Amino acid sequence: EDKTHLNVVVIGHVDSGKSTTTGHLIYQCGGIAKRTIEKFEK
């Protein structure tokens, strides 16, 4: 499956959740395999 590439810039204060929000967005868009998530949940 061919995926479209997208460059995103996230700006905000320290400890405002930028990494968490970005990671959640990537996961919801299918950019992170479910197996990878399961590995980190252990």
Query: What total number of domains does the chain contain?
Result: 1
| pTM of the predicted protein model | 0.64
Contact 10, 21 (CB under 8 A): yes
Quick one: CA dihedral 32, 36, 40, 42, positive or negative? positive
pLDDT one-digit tens code per residue, 1-42: 677 888 989 999 999 999 999 988 988 988 888 888 889 888
What is the extent of the structural domain holding 20? 1-42
Give residue 40's Cα distance to chain centre.
14
Angle 1-5-31 (CA atoms, 0-180°, nearest 5)?
A: 60
